[in-house]
Structure 1
């Protein structure tokens, strides 16, 4: 049984989708062992607790550096025996402490078609730029911001009457599907990183 840890900062809708897909049996052979938030009142912590998942708030401001903060997170991940770390609305840049320990085993989801519109407010960036198609990307985490090898992408058309909020809501629906699909592929051992590319092995 593979153990998953999820790092969060907010409401945790992607976390909920993954919990639901594990409980339904879509994702087999895995359990979420730990949820860690850098924000004390993040609703994602409540979601985890409702499903009997260990949920921990770690305040970055109580540490003297990002390195010591990440070392504490790493201790929690090791205690949970995490095989895979997911970032689900986690609003902090990953440093070398966590990356060195979990490269190739840490995945993020981004609400745009990378490499376009990296960083914060990606849906609004895409909408304001006037693109006709946006979407979401699941990728392995590397030392950059939203620059790691791409696992899966899903396109979402931009409609004539869209607002940035309505576009973001439709992208979120696809996020909930594609993130669980990527987790399933990882748990099945089907993802292989070859330089910048991720190959998906057949069953």
Structure 2
């Protein structure tokens, strides 16, 4: 069985979309894959309860308990590796990962970003798109590299920017598309991995 480990920091709505897609799509039978664990850097992340309700192992590693980013990432890698992951999925994990972490999972680390990369890497993507006068925004699933919000693009969804959009209203519509494209991109990526 190919294990997927998902990292979250908050509500975990993209994680939940992936878990539901795995259940509906019978990934265990069709892709020989399952969501094995959900890890968070925040004990109050609401997504942890969803994972537990679905019988998925959960773990919290508070980044504030570590002296450095490197120490946290080393502990996180050790916890992830306990699950022998074929794939590590970032789903609203609000930490910039060290180059060592990224290198350790090279080729099997995915992220979703709320813009049409390469436009608007980093934070505040929706307001930046509105301020720039963009007619379209969206979301991108990509492989993670050491450079923030770069890496091979696996899927994108386009959302029109409406005249009366705020960052919040645009974010809500983009998130709806994220819930569609992220599970699809994960399944497609799994199909491309060696059995």
| Shorter-chain TM-score range | over 0.9
Query: In 2, Cα distance between the equivalents of 1:172 and 1:181?
Result: 14
Question: What is residue 32 of structure 1 aligned with on the other side?
Answer: 35
2:112 aligned with 1:141: no
Matched, 1:94 2:97: yes
SS where residue 192 of structure 2 aligns? coil
2:80 corresponds to 1:77:
yes
Q: How far apart, CA to CA, are the structure 2 residues paired with 1:49 and 1:121?
A: 31
Q: Distance in 1 between matches of 2:34 and 2:127?
A: 34
Aligned to 1:110, which of 113, 129, 138?
A: 113
SS of aligned partner of 1:32: strand
How far did 1:151 drift? 1.0
- Unaligned runs of at least 5 residues, structure 1: 192-203
The corresponding residue for 2:13 is 13
Structure 2 unaligned blocks of 5 or more: none
TM-score normalized with structure 1 length: 0.90
- Segments ≥4 residues shifted beyond 4 Å: none
- Deviates further, 162-171 or 179-188: 162-171
Change in 2 beyond 3 A, CA 1:130/1:190: farther
Aligned residue-pair number: 191
CA spacing shift, 1:26–1:118, aligned 2, 3 Å: farther
Counterpart Cα distance in 2 of 1:100 and 1:169: 32
Cα RMSD for the two superposed structures: 1.5
C-alpha distance in structure 2 between counterparts of 1:179 and 1:66, whole Å: 27
Partners of 2:193 and 2:74 in 1: how far apart?
Answer: 29
* 3-state SS, counterpart of residue 185 of structure 2: helix
2:133 to 119, 124, 130: 130
**2:176 corresponds to 1:173:** yes
Q: Distance in 2 between matches of 1:64 and 1:167?
A: 37
1:57 and 1:167 map into 2 onto residues whose CA distance is 31
Moved more, 9-18 or 117-126: 117-126
| Mapped partners of 1:138, 1:190: distance in 2 | 17
Shift of 1:190: 6.5
Pick aligned residue for 2:65 from 62, 67, 70: 62
Q: How far apart are the structure 1 equivalents of 2:179 and 2:139? A: 10
Shift of 1:26: 6.1
